[in-house]
C-alpha cells in the first residue's frame, strides 16, 4: 500500500512540476496575445491592467472589454482590391515580403538538409570505411562552432562574390547555402541515430528477395526513418525561421531579408506602439505554431522513438 501511494505521489509531483513549467512558458505568449488585442489607450495607461475590462465602478466587467484589432490592422495594412480573389489585399511588408522570404529560406534549407543528412546518416550507419570515426567526430565538433564566429568571413565572402557579378549568384542562394552548412552537421548525427535503430536484417531480407540496395533503402529504411527525418525537417525549419543575424548581414537588399529583420525594422518604427509590435510577433510566430500542430505526432513519435532506441 505504501509503495502504491508513493508511486501515485510521484506521479502527482511530476504532473504538478510540468503544469508549473507550462504556466511559466505560456505567460509571455499569453501576455503578447493580450497586448496585441489592446487599444493604444489601454497600453499607455497607468497603472497598467492585464485585461482591458475595467470600468469606473468595477475592476473587471466582461461586458465592458475594450478589445481592439488596431495592431493587426497596422501590421497587415489591408487595402481594397477589386481584381483579386479577396476583397482586400494585405499590403504590410511583414506579410507581403518578409514572411514569404523566411518561408522560402526555411523550406529550402530544411529540404536540402533532410536530403543530405538522410544520405549521410545512412552511409555512416551502414558502412565502415577508413576515417569514418574521425569524420564523425569532426562533424560533431563543427556543431559546437557558433554561426556568429563565422559571420565576418561569410560577410566578406558574400561581398567578394557579389562584386564578381557572377550570372548565377543570388544573395538568397548564398544565405540558403550558409544555413545548410550550419544546420547540416547536427542533422547528420540525428539521422544516423535513427538509421542505427533500424535492424540491418530488414534490408538484407529485402535484398535476398530481389530488391536492389537502393530499393531496400527507399522501400524499407526510409519509411522507418521517416519520423526522424521529419524531426530534422522541423528543427531546421524552426531554427532558420528564428534566425536573425545572418539574414541581416548577408542579404544586401531589404526586399530579400527574412521575417526577423522585418520585426526588427518594425520595432524601430513602432517602439511606443506595443500593440502593433505584439501583433507583428504573433503573425510571425503563427506559421511555426500551425506547422507544429499538423506535424506534432510525427515529431513526438520521433522524439520518443529516439529516446527509447537511442
Torsion over CA: 138, 144, 149, 151 (sign): positive
Residues 195-206 pLDDT 10s: 888 888 888 888
Mean pLDDT of 26-34: 91
Mean pLDDT of 149-153: 86
Alpha helices in the chain, H assignment, sequence order: 2-36, 40-44, 70-76, 93, 99-126, 132-142, 151-164, 171-196, 200-208, 213-216, 222-242, 245-250, 259-269, 274-309
**Which has more confidence, 20 or 297?**
20
- CB 38 within 8 Å of CB 52: yes
- CB 207 within 8 Å of CB 213: yes
Residues 223-255 pLDDT 10s: 888 888 888 999 999 999 999 999 888 888 888
Q: How many angstroms separate the CA atoms of 172 and 94, rounded?
A: 18
Highest mean pLDDT among 14-18, 71-75, 150-154 belongs to: 14-18
Question: Which of the residue ranges 81-85, 113-117, 282-286 would you say has the lowest mean pLDDT?
Answer: 81-85
Mean pLDDT of the chain: 84
Confidence of residue 4 (pLDDT cuts 50, 70, 90): low
Place of cell 530579400: 256
Highest mean pLDDT among 81-90, 108-117, 145-154, 292-301 belongs to: 108-117
The pLDDT value given to residue 300: 67
CATH architecture of 95-263+280-309: Orthogonal Bundle (1.10)
Domain parsing of the chain, residue ranges: 2-67, 95-263+280-309
Residue 308 has pLDDT above 50, yes or no: no
The pLDDT value given to residue 27: 92
- CB 258 within 8 Å of CB 73: no
Q: How many angstroms separate the CA atoms of 150 and 154, rounded?
A: 6
- Give the angle subtended at the CA of 90 by the CAs of 84 and 92, to the nearest 5°: 150
The pLDDT value given to residue 307: 44
| DSSP track, 216-252 | HIIIIIHHHHHHHHHHHHHHHHHHHHH--HHHHHH--
Residue 254's closest CA among 91, 108, 109, 93? 93
The pLDDT value given to residue 56: 76
The pLDDT value given to residue 1: 45
The pLDDT value given to residue 305: 57
The pLDDT value given to residue 303: 59
**Which has more confidence, 141 or 19?**
19
The pLDDT value given to residue 299: 67
The pLDDT value given to residue 98: 92
DSSP annotation of 255 reads G
Highest mean pLDDT among 2-16, 260-274, 283-297 belongs to: 283-297
Torsion over CA: 176, 181, 182, 184 (sign): positive
Q: How many angstroms separate the CA atoms of 26 and 307, rounded?
A: 26
Residues 164-198 pLDDT 10s: 887 778 889 999 999 999 999 989 988 888 888 88
Amino acid at each position: 500500500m505504501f509503495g502504491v501511494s508513493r508511486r501515485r505521489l510521484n506521479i502527482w509531483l511530476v504532473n504538478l512540476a510540468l503544469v508549473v513549467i507550462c504556466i511559466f512558458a505560456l505567460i509571455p505568449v499569453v501576455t503578447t496575445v493580450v497586448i496585441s488585442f489592446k487599444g493604444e489607450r489601454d497600453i499607455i495607461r497607468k497603472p497598467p491592467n492585464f485585461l482591458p475590462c475595467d470600468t469606473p465602478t468595477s475592476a473587471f466587467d466582461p461586458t465592458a472589454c475594450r478589445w481592439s484589432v488596431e495592431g493587426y490592422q497596422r501590421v497587415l495594412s489591408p487595402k481594397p482590391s477589386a481584381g483579386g480573389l479577396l476583397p482586400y489585399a494585405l499590403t504590410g511588408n511583414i506579410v507581403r515580403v518578409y514572411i514569404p522570404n523566411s518561408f522560402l529560406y526555411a523550406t529550402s534549407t530544411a529540404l536540402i538538409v533532410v536530403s543530405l543528412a538522410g544520405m549521410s546518416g545512412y552511409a555512416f550507419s551502414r558502412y565502415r570505411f577508413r576515417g569514418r570515426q574521425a569524420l564523425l567526430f569532426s562533424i560533431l565538433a563543427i556543431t559546437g562552432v557558433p554561426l556568429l564566429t563565422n559571420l565576418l568571413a561569410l560577410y566578406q565572402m558574400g561581398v567578394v562574390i557579389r562584386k564578381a557579378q557572377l550570372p548565377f549568384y543570388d544573395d538568397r542562394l548564398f544565405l540558403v547555402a550558409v544555413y545548410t552548412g550550419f544546420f547540416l552537421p547536427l542533422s547528420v548525427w540525428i539521422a544516423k541515430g535513427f538509421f542505427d535503430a533500424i535492424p540491418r536484417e530488414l534490408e538484407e531480407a529485402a535484398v535476398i528477395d530481389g530488391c536492389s540496395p537502393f530499393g531496400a533503402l527507399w522501400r524499407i529504411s526510409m519509411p522507418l526513418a521517416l519520423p526522424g527525418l521529419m524531426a530534422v525537417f522541423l528543427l531546421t525549419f524552426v531554427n532558420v525561421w528564428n534566425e536573425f543575424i545572418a539574414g541581416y548581414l548577408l542579404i544586401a537588399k531589404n526586399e530579400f531579408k527574412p521575417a526577423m529583420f522585418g520585426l526588427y525594422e518594425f520595432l524601430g518604427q513602432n517602439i511606443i506602439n506595443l500593440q502593433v509590435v505584439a501583433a507583428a510577433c504573433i503573425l510571425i510566430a503563427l506559421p511555426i505554431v500551425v506547422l507544429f500542430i499538423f506535424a506534432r505526432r510525427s515529431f513526438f513519435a520521433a522524439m520518443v522513438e529516439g529516446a527509447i532506441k537511442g
